[in-house]
Amino acid sequence: MSLSKQFKEDFTTTTIVLMSIAIVINIVAGQLVSMLKLPIFLDSIGTVLVGLLAGPWAGGLTGLLTNLIWGMISSPVAAAFSPVAMVIGVAAGLCAKYGLFRSLWLAIISGVIITVCNAVVAVPIRLYMFGGITGSGADFMTSYMLALGKDLFGSVVVTVFTSNLLDKVATAVLAWGIVQALPERTIGRLNRAKCVVITG
């Protein structure tokens, strides 16, 4: 299949509308959590949802655009983490493609996989662009680890993994639950949604 044909199949009008809604969901949820200084993020629910319903490339683009737009609106830190958001969408889409969102327990496993992919990209950005501190609620964990005498790299790795583990598992489960609630007609309009078999 040619690249242009694959692009047309992956990015239908329905998918583009879904991506737009998902970007708004991501920014609103992320901004609310940031204001409350919670130790999780919840800014990738829409990204994961698009990954499940429209495939990894649509999911990745949703994440990338979310953070770039968010960065232009109010948070330059969000823009710096746009590669992380893209990886989350791609990872979610690939997990769905290979059947890792076919049950609740598989969705939890997918959340762990997404966390690992997220950490690989997020740790270097957090370290080298922000010195380990980004102004999020997760900074408390970094400060605590440093106070215990841990080195900066180890403290950031622990912070990123632990804060994202809870966040990404919760996000994956929420996205899975949303897909369960969608009517079959809506799912049928999305080419990649058939990869997510909704079961109890």
Q: Summarize pLDDT for 47-89 with one digit per residue, the tens.
A: 999 999 999 999 999 999 999 999 999 878 889 999 999 999 9
The three-class DSSP label of residue 3 is helix
Residue 84, domain member (yes or no): yes
Q: Residue 39 pLDDT more than 70?
A: no
Question: Nearest-5° angle of CA 3, CA 9, CA 10?
Answer: 85
pTM above the 0.85 mark? yes
Q: How far apart are CA 159 and CA 119, in angstroms?
A: 10
- Residue 78: what pLDDT? 87
Q: Residue 14 pLDDT more than 70?
A: yes
Q: Residue 171 pLDDT more than 60?
A: yes
Q: Which of 138, 52, 36 is CA-nearest to residue 88? A: 52
Residue 137: pLDDT band (50, 70, 90) is low
Print the domain residue range for 186: 3-195
Residue 129, domain member (yes or no): yes
Residue 200, domain member (yes or no): no
Contact 133, 140 (CB under 8 A): no
Residue 24, domain member (yes or no): yes
- Residue 1: what pLDDT? 58
CATH of the domain at 154: 1.10.1760.20
Residue 64, domain member (yes or no): yes
Residue 30, domain member (yes or no): yes
Q: How far apart are CA 132 and CA 130, in angstroms?
A: 5
Domain tally for the chain? 1
The three-class DSSP label of residue 110 is helix
Residue 143, domain member (yes or no): yes
Q: Residue 3 pLDDT more than 70?
A: no
> What percentage of the chain has pLDDT greater than the value 90?
55
> What percentage of the chain has pLDDT greater than the value 70?
91
- Residue 200: what pLDDT? 46
Contact 23, 46 (CB under 8 A): yes
